[in-house]
């Protein structure tokens, strides 16, 4: 099969579009013909060697797969050839961890395509228990845009942030792949949402996702704007995928006893925390990583019901994966980028 293969860490020019052996399903596994595979910024970090050093090469990235069952291994009863399916964007890779719930607390839980081959290929092999039927009726590129960001958004916004009707929520990077999904999930849960963006071109993307207030942080101080929006009180919940560069202002924009959920670090890793403010203002600070299989299914259900929509900025043929990674790295991307094998 053809695949976008990396033989080492590096810049986007490290990709080789080449032939590799097509996977065969083992016991409890299925092989899926990939119709579309979404890219996440995580893939860029993994390619650069910024997350794990112990990747075995050659390697194939790609966590967000929509496709159809091509082959079914022994002991798989739930699927037959041609079934439209979606692969869980993260699951425990050690079968010894498969009974741990929620799955994202299992020691071997990881993003799909980290230590196992991902979906930047014509075919992918996956354990059948972490594959679901695709009942959305949507085109594959729309489905493939959403699994990882929806699993993340349901976990961060609903489970950890406990966002619901009437809550006021600030989502950082509202036009990013993950931020956009968080805006949509918060809206679907009945919250009033504000979002930040870094340019005027991205304002409409965050608005379309459901943000009632969109702040271009290069034009206005976002924390002051949020305090104006909330009559000086601050938002109930901050959902943050940016990290250090906005950390102090995020807490300034958060109400007393509000909840701060972080799951990303594009703006830096190390932040300064005032312990005094932490307890005086009774803030809850929570770290979030991916989500459970149940949260992934809940996210896909929202997609199928049209309560959240795929925000696909561009699609690229799989052979142009390097250009697709460069586009995401440029920060011009609005929503998601998807590869078509």
Ligand X SMILES: NC(=O)c1ccc[n+]([C@@H]2O[C@H](COP(=O)([O-])OP(=O)(O)OC[C@H]3O[C@@H](n4cnc5c(N)ncnc54)[C@H](OP(=O)(O)O)[C@@H]3O)[C@@H](O)[C@H]2O)c1
Q: How far apart are CA 179 and CA 215, in angstroms?
A: 13
Least Cβ distance, residue 33 to ligand X (angstroms)? 25
Q: Which is closer to ligand X, CB of 152 or CB of 184?
A: 152
Query: If DSSP codes are grouped into helix, strand and coil, which group holds residue 86?
Result: strand
Q: Is 153 in the site for ligand X (CB under 6 A)?
A: no
Cβ neighbours of 313 (radius 10 Å): 18
Q: Which is closer to ligand X, CB of 231 or CB of 270?
A: 270
Q: Is 289 in the site for ligand X (CB under 6 A)?
A: yes
Least Cβ distance, residue 42 to ligand X (angstroms)? 5
Q: How far apart are CA 188 and CA 146, in angstroms?
A: 15
Q: Is 152 in the site for ligand X (CB under 6 A)?
A: yes
Q: Is 177 in the site for ligand X (CB under 6 A)?
A: yes
Q: Which of 76, 131, 169, 175 binds ligand X (CB under 6 A)?
A: 175
Q: Give the CA dihedral 183, 185, 190, 191, nearest 10 degrees.
A: -40
Q: Which of 61, 51, 45, 52 is nearest to 6 (CA)?
A: 61
Q: Which of 6, 173, 195, 311 binds ligand X (CB under 6 A)?
A: 173
Q: Is 263 in the site for ligand X (CB under 6 A)?
A: yes
Q: Is 178 in the site for ligand X (CB under 6 A)?
A: yes
Least Cβ distance, residue 336 to ligand X (angstroms)? 7
Q: Which is closer to ligand X, CB of 84 or CB of 203?
A: 203
Question: Phi then psi for 144, rounded to 5 degrees?
Answer: -70, -15
How many residues bind ligand X (CB under 6 A)? The answer is 28
Select the span of 68-76, 239-247, 292-300, 316-324 touching ligand X (CB under 6 A).
Answer: 239-247
Contact, 70 vs 84, CB < 8 A?
Answer: no
Q: Is 158 in the site for ligand X (CB under 6 A)?
A: no
Q: How far apart are CA 208 and CA 112, in angstroms?
A: 29
Least Cβ distance, residue 223 to ligand X (angstroms)? 15
Q: Is 114 in the site for ligand X (CB under 6 A)?
A: no
Q: How far apart are CA 16 and CA 132, in angstroms?
A: 30
Strand 284-287, strand 254-262: pairing: parallel
Q: Which of 15, 42, 260, 296 binds ligand X (CB under 6 A)?
A: 42
Q: How far apart are CA 337 and CA 74, in angstroms?
A: 35
Q: Which of 31, 11, 13 is nearest to 21 (CA)?
A: 31
Query: If DSSP codes are grouped into helix, strand and coil, which group holds residue 79?
Result: coil
Q: Which is closer to ligand X, CB of 79 or CB of 222?
A: 222
Q: Which is closer to ligand X, CB of 25 or CB of 210?
A: 210
Q: Is 112 in the site for ligand X (CB under 6 A)?
A: no
The angle at the Cα of 107, spanning 148 to 26, to the nearest 5 degrees, equals 75
Q: Which of 121, 290, 311, 321 binds ligand X (CB under 6 A)?
A: 290
Q: How far apart are CA 14 and CA 193, in angstroms?
A: 39
Least Cβ distance, residue 160 to ligand X (angstroms)? 11
Place of tokens 């579309």: 36
Contacts (CB under 6 A) with ligand X, residues 53-82: none
Least Cβ distance, residue 6 to ligand X (angstroms)? 18
Q: Is 88 in the site for ligand X (CB under 6 A)?
A: no
Beta bridge partners of residue 259, listed in sequence order = 237, 284
Contact, 295 vs 154, CB < 8 A?
Answer: yes
Q: Is 271 in the site for ligand X (CB under 6 A)?
A: no
Q: Is 311 in the site for ligand X (CB under 6 A)?
A: no
Peptide bond into 153 cis (omega under 30): no
Q: Is 285 in the site for ligand X (CB under 6 A)?
A: no
Binding residues vs ligand X (CB under 6 A) = 40-42, 152, 173, 175-179, 197-199, 202, 241-242, 245, 263-267, 288-290, 328, 331, 333
């Amino acid at each position: 099969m053809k695949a976008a293969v990396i033989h080492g860490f590096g810049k986007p020019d490290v990709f080789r579009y080449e032939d590799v052996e097509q996977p065969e399903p083992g016991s409890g596994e299925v092989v899926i013909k990939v119709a579309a595979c979404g890219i996440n910024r995580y893939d860029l970090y993994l390619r650069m060697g910024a997350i794990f050093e112990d990747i075995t090469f050659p390697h194939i990235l790609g966590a967000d797969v929509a496709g159809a069952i091509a082959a079914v291994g022994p002991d798989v009863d739930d699927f037959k050839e041609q079934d439209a399916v979606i692969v869980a964007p993260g699951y425990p890779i050690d079968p010894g961890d498969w009974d741990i719930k929620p799955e994202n607390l299992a020691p071997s839980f990881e993003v799909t395509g980290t230590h196992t081959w991902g979906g930047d290929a014509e075919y992918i092999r996956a354990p059948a228990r972490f594959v679901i039927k695709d009942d959305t009726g949507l085109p594959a590129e729309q489905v493939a845009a959403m699994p990882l960001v929806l699993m993340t958004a349901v976990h961060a916004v609903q489970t950890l942030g406990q966002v619901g009707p009437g809550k006021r929520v600030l989502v950082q990077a509202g036009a990013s792949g993950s931020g956009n999904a968080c805006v949509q999930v918060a809206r679907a849960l009945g919250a009033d949402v504000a979002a930040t963006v870094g340019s005027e071109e991205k304002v409409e993307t965050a608005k379309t996702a459901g943000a009632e207030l969109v702040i271009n942080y290069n034009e206005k101080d976002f924390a002051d704007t949020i305090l104006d929006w909330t009559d000086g009180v601050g938002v109930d919940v901050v959902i943050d995928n940016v990290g250090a560069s906005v950390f102090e202002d995020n807490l300034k924009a958060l109400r007393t006893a509000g909840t701060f959920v972080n799951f990303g670090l594009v703006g830096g890793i190390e932040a300064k925390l005032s312990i005094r403010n932490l307890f005086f203002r009774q803030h809850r600070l929570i770290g979030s990583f991916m989500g459970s299989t149940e949260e992934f299914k809940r996210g896909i259900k929202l997609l199928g019901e049209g309560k959240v929509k795929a925000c696909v900025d561009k699609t690229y043929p799989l052979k142009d994966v390097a250009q697709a990674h460069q586009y995401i790295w440029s920060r011009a991307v609005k929503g998601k980028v998807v590869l078509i094998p």
